[in-house]
Amino acid sequence: MEKFGLPLPLDTPTRVSVARHPVHPMLVTFPIAFFLGALACDGAFLWTADGFWARCALWLVGAGLVMGTLAGLAGTVELLAVEGIRRRAASWNHFVVAVLLLAVQAINWLHRLQGVEEAVIPFGMFLSVLGASLVAVAGWLGGKLVFEHQVGVGGHGKD
């Protein structure tokens, strides 16, 4: 990786980890699955008009918010504590999209509390589609951090 034509030092170890396995990637799988699952449930509600699916979507958006916030906290500690992560523009791009995602899903959840089935069409569905798109962008940018910038990857000199 280069910045202004000069090599960017790696300096990207993980600080929030279990036996040097970063916690953030362990947690992000949950909000990704829950938010995409909520969109699938909205689709099933649209197809069947069965209120069960609308209730599933409400719970999945809520569970995604809880796990996404925990993942976000772990990621934010990494971002602030590790200079090599803080210095990379890709880290801040990922942070901004992830916070936007959590804000959209918080609105999605609060909106659904007003009336679980009535909330789905059209606004709940719109927010789920927007949320799923933001999951894709945040996930891709997170992958860029790991697979291109090698954030949290490798022993960084230890064994």
Residues that bind ligand HEM (CB under 6 A): 14, 22, 24-25, 28, 31-32, 68, 71-72, 75-76, 78-79, 85, 91, 94-95, 98-99, 101-102, 135, 138-139, 142-143, 145-146, 151-152
CB-based burial label for 93 (10 Å; 0-12, 13-18, 19+): middle
- Cβ proximity to ligand HEM: between 22 and 124 the closer is 22
Q: Residue 59 or 92: which CB sits closer to ligand HEM?
A: 92
Q: Which is nearer to ligand HEM, 24 or 111 (CB)?
A: 24
**Closest distance to ligand HEM from the beta carbon of 33 (Å):** 10
Q: H or E stretch including 36?
A: helix 23-48
Q: Rounded CA gap, 13 and 6, in Å?
A: 21
The span from the CA of 141 to the CA of 37, in Å, is 21
Shortest CB 60 distance to ligand HEM, Å: 13
User: Least separation, in Å, of the C-beta of 83 and ligand HEM?
Assistant: 12
Instruction: Kindly state the smallest distance separating residue 41's Cβ from ligand HEM, in Å.
Output: 17
The answer to whether 94 and 141 are in contact (CB under 8 A) is yes
By the 8 A CB rule, do 14 and 22 touch?
yes
For ligand HEM, the closer CB: 32 or 39:
32
Nearer to ligand HEM, 42 or 78 (CB): 78
Spatial contact of 60 and 131, defined as CB atoms under 8 Å apart:
no
Least separation in angstroms between residue 142's CB and ligand HEM is 2
User: CB within 8 A of 31, min separation 6: which ones?
Assistant: 64, 65, 67, 68, 71, 135
